[in-house]
Amino acid sequence: MTDVTASLKSVSKRYASEYAVNQVDLALHAGERIALVGHNGAGKSTLVKLMLGLVQPTAGTIEVLGVSVGRGRGIAAHAGIGYLPESVVFPPALTAEEVMAFYARLKRCPVSGNAELLERVGLAHAASRRISSYSKGMRQRLGLAQALIGAPQLMLLDEPTTGLDPALRRTFYEILEELARGGVTVLLSSHALAELEARTDRIVVMNRGHKVADGSLAELRAQADCPTRIRVDFGHGVREFTCDEKDKAAVLKRALALPGELRDVEVASPSLDDLYAHFLRREAAE
């Protein structure tokens, strides 16, 4: 987890009058799954585009896969990056095979490897059909398949699960988990917070261009001092406790030691939704 695949140092991006990204420091490591959360306009997409060199930073330095990104440089890193833009419309008259062949050639990868990638995302059966006949989910699968071309070391996925049904999300996250186990850095931005909880190693919260929180879910809970709620049902009555995340174990032990016949215990740690709301409130208060 020490190999840095991408690093941003006090990076800012200003559009006309306001900062889309403001003084952000961020280091991504090999094998990490990072969720970039924040509401629309928080700077998530801009951050990804900065890493790709699609927009130029107003200030700060960006290094991706050992290549410094900026004014016309950074192309060298692209061979090792897989990118899925927020909304992409592939040419409807082409087939998935043709689209994949085009992108594989651009990345100088053998076209023969495409069949396996399409199989992996579950599109093998429709590979020779025109994209115009595809459902939203199938188009998204194709988007993921093209991002997987050339076994990239860094995956940048912008809102990849928007509009996907639950089963598809599951396969999506399974693929990402596999990739991370193989040492790939996976950065995905999303505002579907609930589904990210168990599926990422690290969460970066963005708000109005600022990075307001960065850490694992447990770390964020510790930072946020959002109360953990413990409900203990003794049959004759329900007792509720609230405590800090770090005191959870001690409080639970005491609760269980209370007299009475224990029927049910519920421990509700603050969800990512709670934490997100908390960080935004804190940011607003500052």
Tokens of 90: 């592939």
Judged by CB, which is closer to another protein: 58, or 271?
Answer: 58
Dist. CA 143–CA 161, nearest whole Å: 11
Cα distances (angstroms) measured from residue 254 to each of 24, 235, 248, 250, 258: 43, 17, 10, 6, 7
Judged by CB, which is closer to another protein: 69, or 203?
Answer: 69
Least separation in angstroms between CB 233 and another protein: 51
Judged by CB, which is closer to another protein: 93, or 257?
Answer: 93
Judged by CB, which is closer to another protein: 54, or 59?
Answer: 54
Least separation in angstroms between CB 115 and another protein: 20
Which residue shows structure tokens 């006090």? 10
Residues that bind another protein (CB under 8 A): 49, 52-56, 72, 75-76, 78-79, 81, 83-91, 93-94, 98, 102-103, 105-108, 146, 156
Tokens of 269: 């740690």
Least separation in angstroms between CB 277 and another protein: 30
Least separation in angstroms between CB 46 and another protein: 10
Sheet holding 228-233, edge to edge: 238-243, 228-233, 264-268
Least separation in angstroms between CB 93 and another protein: 4
User: Which phi and psi angles does 166 have, rounded to 5°?
Assistant: -55, -40
Instruction: Please name the amino acid found at residue 26.
Output: L
Dist. CA 31–CA 26, nearest whole Å: 16
Judged by CB, which is closer to another protein: 131, or 226?
Answer: 131
